[in-house]
């Protein structure tokens, strides 16, 4: 067979000779080759979700090495968004099962259920840097599906309320309280424990003003600049809001003045782009005011804005009971949970998205999911034992 150039196809010119296999197009490789390694490794790959990073390790040796580099893994974690979490429950053949989903606010999409090393009903006690404390003795990373016991002896830890990284040592630590039964008047003692060890010690962080009263911690502590900001209030009697600031390095604490709000109103602490803020509402349903801490040294708060929700519109989705609204981002996104639906509103009260939950009321929990592939020694020890 002659080509237009007059040359013959070699495969057809010689009997019994097969045409060489066509090489795959190297367009994809060529496109990647055009991108400088510095841009690829510092700007593109760190922005990928954890699942994609785990996959690109198979591309080549250099990418596999990159995906194991602690500096890259830390940069990757810092660039991941902190996603709100939605807890739901359903009844299956195994009984009551909990589900936990992250919601992507910018794309208004509900992500798949986070994977945990067990089934059934469970609660998240604390979270930090992509790690979750589930129940009273397990710490896990849903992005890598790794898990380990909080303590080396696997004993449970009751009344755990905070998880944080100790910056000077890099250790992951938890904070909890327990009653001192040796005192005539029962009082609480507060402890810090290094995860994966039995090493715990007493710290000064009182969360009550009455010795015989147990602390009532509201929401999840907000970790900013190495300090835990813990919102607590009395269980009974005169109501008020209190904020205790615990320095995780110096292990000292102080009382912080809360924003000037009605002590009977609902209040939530949140992180607004690296700044401590508080969302307050009379009923947690219709209107929320946002305050931001302007001067941490003198506890000066400033009013930022107010969010009004369309009550009549929400009632169209509400099947029964009440609904609860929560500010979940520095842009003022609000998630409204009611029986059968989860609604997403923007700062101006416009409906952005709606998600249907059959025979269930989704709950916006006070934790965030920020994917992490950072390696931890306590996970590695568990793998070796298993």
The Cα–Cα gap between 179 and 187 comes to 6
Range name among 15-19, 276-280, 332-336 with the lowest pLDDT average: 15-19
Enter the DSSP assignment of 36: -
Which pLDDT score, from 0 to 100, does residue 2 have? 44
Residue 81's closest CA among 331, 323, 291? 331
Stronger pLDDT, 198 or 19, i.e. the higher one: 198
Q: Contact at 8 Å (CB) between 172 and 165? A: yes
Q: Which secondary-structure segment (H or E) carries 315? A: helix 311-317
Q: Contact at 8 Å (CB) between 8 and 1? A: yes
Task: Indicate whether 9 pLDDT > 50.
Answer: no
Mean pLDDT of 134-163: 93
> 3-state class of 126 per DSSP?
strand
Which pLDDT score, from 0 to 100, does residue 130 have? 94
Beta strands 324-327 and 334-338 are antiparallel
Task: Indicate whether 55 pLDDT > 90.
Answer: no
The Cα–Cα gap between 364 and 20 comes to 60
Give tens-digit pLDDT for 189-240.
899 999 999 999 999 888 876 555 778 888 999 999 999 999 987 766 667 7
Tally of helices (H runs) and strands (E runs) in the chain: 8, 25
Which pLDDT score, from 0 to 100, does residue 185 have? 59
Task: Indicate whether 92 pLDDT > 90.
Answer: no
The whole-chain average pLDDT of the chain stands at 84
Q: Which of 88-97, 101-110, 159-168 has the highest mean pLDDT?
A: 159-168
Which pLDDT score, from 0 to 100, does residue 13 have? 43
Percent of the chain with pLDDT over 70: 82
Task: Indicate whether 6 pLDDT > 50.
Answer: no
Residue 288 exposure: Cα atoms within 13 Å on the Cβ side = 30
The Cα–Cα gap between 215 and 234 comes to 7
Q: Contact at 8 Å (CB) between 165 and 174? A: no
Stronger pLDDT, 191 or 41, i.e. the higher one: 191
Give the C-alpha distances (Å, rounded to integers) separating 277 from 223, 255, 370.
Answer: 12, 16, 19
Residue 276 exposure: Cα atoms within 13 Å on the Cβ side = 29
Task: Indicate whether 117 pLDDT > 70.
Answer: no
Give the C-alpha distances (Å, rounded to integers) separating 287 from 25, 70, 203, 310.
Answer: 58, 44, 38, 9
Q: What is the pTM of this model?
A: 0.84
Which pLDDT score, from 0 to 100, does residue 30 have? 54
Task: Indicate whether 11 pLDDT > 60.
Answer: no
Q: Which of 137-141, 215-219, 337-341 has the highest mean pLDDT?
A: 137-141
Q: Cβ neighbours of residue 259 under 8 Å, at least 6 residues apart?
A: 267, 278, 280, 291, 301
Residue 242's closest CA among 255, 252, 226, 225? 255
Which pLDDT score, from 0 to 100, does residue 14 have? 46
Give tens-digit pLDDT for 58-85.
778 888 888 888 999 999 999 999 999 9
Which pLDDT score, from 0 to 100, does residue 127 have? 95
The Cα–Cα gap between 214 and 206 comes to 10
């Amino acid at each position: 067979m002659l080509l237009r150039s007059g040359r013959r196809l070699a495969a057809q010119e010689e009997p019994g000779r097969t045409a060489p296999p066509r090489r795959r197009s190297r367009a994809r490789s060529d496109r990647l080759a055009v991108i400088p390694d510095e841009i690829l490794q510092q700007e593109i790959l760190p922005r990928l979700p954890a699942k994609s990073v785990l996959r690109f390790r198979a591309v080549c040796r250099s990418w596999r090495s990159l995906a194991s580099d602690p500096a890259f893994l830390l940069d990757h974690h810092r660039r991941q968004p902190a996603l709100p979490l939605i807890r739901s429950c359903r009844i299956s053949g195994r009984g009551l099962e909990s589900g936990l989903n992250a919601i992507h606010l910018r794309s208004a999409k509900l992500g798949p259920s986070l994977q945990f090393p067990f089934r059934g009903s469970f609660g998240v006690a604390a979270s930090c840097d992509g790690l979750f404390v589930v129940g009273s003795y397990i710490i896990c990373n849903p992005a890598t599906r790794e898990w380990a016991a909080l303590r080396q002896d696997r004993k449970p830890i009751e009344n755990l309320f905070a998880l944080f990284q100790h910056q000077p040592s890099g250790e992951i630590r938890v904070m909890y309280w327990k009653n001192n039964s040796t005192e005539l008047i029962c009082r609480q003692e507060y402890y810090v424990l290094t995860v994966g060890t039995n090493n715990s010690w007493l710290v000064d962080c009182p969360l009550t003003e009455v010795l015989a009263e147990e602390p009532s911690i509201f929401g999840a502590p907000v970790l900013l600049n190495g300090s835990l900001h813990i919102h607590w209030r009395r269980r009974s009697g005169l109501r008020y809001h209190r904020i205790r600031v615990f320095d995780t390095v110096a292990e000292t604490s102080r009382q912080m003045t809360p924003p000037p709000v009605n002590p009977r109103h609902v209040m939530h602490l949140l992180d607004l782009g690296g700044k401590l803020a508080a969302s307050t509402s009379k009923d947690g349903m219709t209107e929320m005011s946002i305050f931001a801490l302007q001067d941490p040294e003198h506890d000066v708060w400033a009013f930022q804005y107010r969010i009004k929700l369309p009550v009549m519109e929400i009632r169209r989705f509400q099947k029964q009971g009440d609904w609860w609204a929560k500010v979940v981002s520095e842009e003022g996104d609000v998630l409204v949970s009611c029986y059968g639906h989860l609604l997403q509103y923007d700062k101006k009260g416009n409906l952005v998205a709606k998600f249907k939950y059959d025979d269930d009321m989704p709950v916006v929990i006070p934790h965030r999911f920020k994917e992490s592939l950072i390696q931890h020694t306590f996970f590695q020890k568990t793998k070796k034992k298993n």
